[in-house]
Chain A
Amino acid sequence: MCCWSVGLVQRDIEAAGFSTISLSMIPELTASAGAPRIAAIEHPFGVTLGRPGDAAGQLAVLRTAVRALEAMLTPGAIAHLPFDWTSREREALFRSAGRLRRLGRRCLIVFEGSRDLVSNWGCERLYSPIRHDRDALARRTHLTNHHNRNPCGLNGRQDRVRSVWRDGDQQRARRNQFQRIKRERTANRAGFGKHGNVLANDPKPETGGRRQLEEPRREPAFRRIVHRVHDVADIGSRESRTHDTDAGVNQETSGPRQKIGINLAPQPFRLLLCEDRGALDGHTACQ
C-alpha cells in the first residue's frame, strides 16, 4: 500500500481502539491522511524494513518503530527513525536495477538513491537523471509550485523547467500559508536523542496547540498497554476516547484519567514484555 493509504487505514484502526504506528518514506504525505503516529524512515520504496536478507537491520527498524509508538504522546507526531540508506546499499540497489533493466521492458530504473525509483514502463526514457532534492520537500515547493506533477517533487524533465516565482500578492499569501503549516508540524515531531533513545528527549507538548490533548503522561513503556486513542474525527479537540484492555474500560473522557476513576495502578503485563527496559529510558523504567 502507498504512503497515503497507510494513513487512511491507520486512522480508522486507531479510531477502532488499537494503538497504531505506521512507517513512512514520505511522512508529510502520510500525515496528510490523518495518521496518529508516524515513524519516518529513509529507506527506498519496496524495502521499507531493510535490504533483503538483512535480518538484523529489519529487526532494528521494527524494534525502533514499536518503541517509538510508546514514546509518542501527541496525535500526529512524527518520529524520525535513525536509519539511513548507506552508499553501499545504494550501490547494491543500483547494480540490481541494472540487472532488472536487461530483463524486460516493464521494469524499474534506479538513478541515484532512495526516492529515485522511477518506472520505465513503455521504455520511456528520461532526459536526465532525477535529482535527489530532499530540500524541495523541506521547502514544500512540491505543494506550492503547480507545475510539479509528482507529490515528491521529483519530476524528471519537469524539474528542469520549473517556473520562476513571481512574488505577487497571491503567491506570497500561498507561500506564507504553507510555511505556517510547516512550523506547526515540526513542533509535534518526536526526535531521537544523542544516543538514539526515543524517550530521552521526548518533547513537551505545547500548550494550546491545535493538536494538543490535555492528558497525563502515558504509563511507562511496555509495562502495560493503555490505549489512548486519538479521536481522528475531532483530533484538534481536547476530548479523547480511552480504551483499557486489561481493565476492560472503554469510555469517552474529556479530562484527566484520575478525575473519571480509571485505575492506573500497575498490573501484570500480559501481551507486551520488554526485558531490555533499561535501553528505553532510565527515568521511566518498569517496575
Chain B
Amino acid sequence: MRPRTIRTGDVRVCHLHINPAYAQQDLNSVLPVARLDELAALGEIGASAPSHYSHMGYTLRPERFLRESVTGIVRHLREERDDVVVVVPV
C-alpha cells in the first residue's frame, strides 16, 4: 500500500521480465499518482484516493492472493470511500 504522496525515488522498482528502468526513472509511467492529482486539479475527477496499491504479477496459484490480499485491498477501498479503481499492469 502506497500513500498518495509517493513520488519517483521513494520506491525501488524490480522486475525480471521487463525493464524496470523506466518506472525507476518516472514512477508515473506505471503508477500515475501525480497524474491523478493533476486530473483532480483540473476538476475532471473529485480527488485521488489516499492510498494506492501494488502487487507482483505472474501469480500462477492466485487463490490465497485473492482470498487475503485482494480482500484487504477491498476493505481499505471501502474505508476510504473510493468510487473508481483503475488497474494498471506493468
Residues of A within 8 A of B (CB): 1-6, 8-10, 12-13, 16-25, 30, 45-53, 55, 58-59, 62-63, 65-66, 69, 96-97, 100, 106-108, 110, 117, 119, 121, 222, 225, 227, 245, 270-276
Residues of chain A with a CB closer than 8 A to B2's CB: none
Q: What are 24 A-B pairs at a CB distance below 8 A?
A: A1-B55, A3-B89, A4-B57, A9-B55, A12-B66, A13-B77, A45-B90, A46-B15, A46-B21, A47-B22, A47-B23, A47-B29, A48-B29, A52-B29, A55-B28, A55-B38, A58-B35, A59-B35, A66-B45, A66-B86, A96-B19, A97-B19, A100-B19, A245-B83
The CA of A17 and the CA of B57, in the complex, are separated in Å by 23
Contact of A63 among B15, B44, B66, B73 (CB under 8 A): B44
B89 touches A119 (CB 8 A): no
Q: What class of interface size applies to chain B in its complex with A?
A: 35 or more
The CA of A3 and the CA of B21, in the complex, are separated in Å by 19
A46-B20, A62-B32 known; A13 and B85 CB under 8 Å?
yes
B29 touches A50 (CB 8 A): yes
Where chain A touches its partner, the secondary structure class is: mixed
A1-B57, A49-B30, A52-B26 known; A18 and B85 CB under 8 Å?
yes
Among residues of A, the one whose C-beta sits closest to the C-beta of B31 is A49
The CA of A6 and the CA of B15, in the complex, are separated in Å by 16
Residues of chain A with a CB closer than 8 A to B66's CB: 8-9, 12
Among residues of A, the one whose C-beta sits closest to the C-beta of B30 is A48
Residues of B within 8 A of A (CB): 15-23, 25-26, 28-30, 32, 34-36, 38-39, 42-47, 54-59, 62, 66, 70-71, 73-74, 77-78, 81-90
A106 touches B16 (CB 8 A): yes
Contact of A273 among B45, B56, B83 (CB under 8 A): B45
Residues of chain B with a CB closer than 8 A to A121's CB: 16
Residues of chain A with a CB closer than 8 A to B42's CB: 275
The CA of A2 and the CA of B83, in the complex, are separated in Å by 23
Q: Determine how close the nearest CB of chain A comes to the CB of B1; give it in whole angstroms.
A: 14
A10 touches B85 (CB 8 A): yes
A6-B89, A48-B89, A62-B35 known; A13 and B70 CB under 8 Å?
yes
A6-B87, A276-B44 known; A46 and B26 CB under 8 Å?
no
